[in-house]
Amino acid sequence: MFYGIKSDTNSFARTTVANDINAFRYLYQYANLNIIKKVESSEITKKTLPSFQLALERLTFVKRTVVIHLGEVQDAATLVIIADFFMKMAEATCSIVSGIVDQKLIVIFRNAGFRRNAGKLAKKMFGHLGSAGGHKSMARAEIPLERLKPDANTASDIEQYVLNRLKRVGRN
């Protein structure tokens, strides 16, 4: 429960309510902080390492935004882990990581929250094609692949499509 409150509130960086704070304070005395630290730092597994290698190879910057398209991935959780990871770069204020899962383009947005709003950016870029939205610091879009045709048929086309949408929306 302690970890759930901590992660759902992003260590209280997100808007929260008094009950969250009170529960956290109460549970703190019972929490094993070493286990919490291990859980928080154990997202990367042997299974996700090839995706990290591919992400490093495909890393592109658009100003201070990291943009990566991974192509086909097993699950959207991998995209989330990679988007979060690349937000740790000093040069990045935003990360956008996309991939194909079950015939959908999944796009994960992470933002440091300086000027941009990840939820609004997701809606501007992809809201007209599928579901898109989120919060100021994190968002997600899901677009059925058939809605991208004829603009994007291959992994390379999809990567270019995401980059073009970002550049087009970034100007407006």
Looking at the structure, do residues 33 and 75 belong to the same domain, yes or no?
no
User: Residue 79 has what pLDDT?
Assistant: 95
Mean pLDDT by 10-residue block, N- to C-terminus, for the chain (172 residues)? Answer: 80 81 90 81 81 94 92 92 92 94 94 84 93 92 90 82 84 53
The pLDDT assigned to 157 comes to: 87
My answer on whether 82 and 114 are in the same domain is yes
Range of the domain at 67: 49-171
Shared domain for 116 and 33, answered yes or no, is: no
pTM: 0.80
What angle separates helix 49-58 from helix 76-86, to the nearest 10 degrees? 60
What pLDDT is stored for residue 42 in this prediction? 67
In three-state secondary structure terms, 48 is coil
Residues 130 and 84 occupy one common structural domain = yes
When divided into structural domains, the chain yields a total of 2
Residues 67 and 146 in one domain: yes
User: What pLDDT is stored for residue 100 in this prediction?
Assistant: 94
Long-range contacts of 29-37 (CB under 8 A, 24+ apart): 30/2, 31/2, 31/3, 36/2, 36/3, 36/6
Here the CATH number for the domain that contains residue 54 is 3.10.310.30
Check whether residue 145 and residue 60 sit in a common domain: yes
Give 94's strand partners: 65, 111
Same domain, 74 and 155: yes
Give the count of beta carbons closer than 10 Å to the beta carbon of residue 140. 20
pLDDT at site 170 = 67
Same domain, 26 and 53: no
Residues 87 and 12 in one domain: no
**Cis peptide preceding 50, ω within 30 of 0:** no
Output the six-digit token pair for 79: 């995209």
Residues 116 and 167 in one domain: yes
**Same domain, yes or no: 84 and 16:** no
**Angle separating helix axes 155-171 and 118-126, nearest 10 degrees:** 120
